[in-house]
Structure 1
Amino acid sequence: MRKVYEVVILFLFSLGPVSSMVNWYVQSPKIVFGGHVTLFCNTSTVRNSCKGCPTSWFGGENFKVLSYNGFTASSSKYSLTTAADGFGITIKDFTENDLIYPYKCSYGFHSFVKHLTLDKNYEYQPSKDEIKTKHATYNSMLYVEVHLKKAHPEPNCTAIFNMS
């Protein structure tokens, strides 16, 4: 009879909470590829009941520990912030690879995990190797062709010709 009781308790424990008391959101006003993006974990709903609780961020390939209690796994890639209502992680030199994996913030026994997704408020500026140009002259006309593999928002291109 005792084994059945243990199985029932383990089963009920494994269900866990249906909703989380913490959540994270993108704090940066705009996601800029090549720039820095800050994720903020809001802990205001559990702040008073969890003083001194450990904080952590998980993510990236193999869902590894990105930070724990104010220390980062890679200070060249991540930096941390704290506030009265939560804590944040800044992803430096943000790339498309940073979008592939989910991110999880944990505060004590409370955690929240989701994928970082893009809305229309992001910017992708192509690097010099992603911009291909050709130009030619024919019958006193200059023809310029510019190929951008990726760019967002759609660029507004202007050509200025200086004859001095």
Structure 2
Amino acid sequence: MDIPEDLLGAMPRDERFTVALQSAPEVTATGTVREVAPFADASTRTRRIRMTLQDPPAAFRLGATITVDLTRKVAPHVVLPETAILSAEGRDAVWIVDAAGTRVARRPVEVAGRRHGFAALTAGVEPGERVVVAGTHSLGEGQTVRLADEAL
């Protein structure tokens, strides 16, 4: 199956999935991750995941169309480049740009996991907030900043 690359940072290695046949959703098996593609697909930014099914019913045949669900809920998270994370005094933090886009404020964050140069945050950043991703170690509280002409 293909999953969004940003989910990999928050996904434990021993993650379990419920795999069901689309033609008969009541027929299920448990799947575990066997292999993760080393690179994301350039156009979809997804990674190919190969699974091993544990004791699959006979109805599971090669080429069957399936639906895959996590067996647990995934906490909402924000994925940022690791360069955005400032680790000091035993705490992780990021610099948040104020609504006017002129000053920064340091805010503690909870990092759920790090992988391939990215960090998955489960707390500390709200949707729509702007986070500094470069030069984090050279900023100070309340420092004036200037945004690039085209903010991402």
Class of the TM-score when normalised by the shorter of the 2 chains: under 0.3
Larger radius of gyration: 1
TM-score (norm 1): 0.24
More helix by share: 1
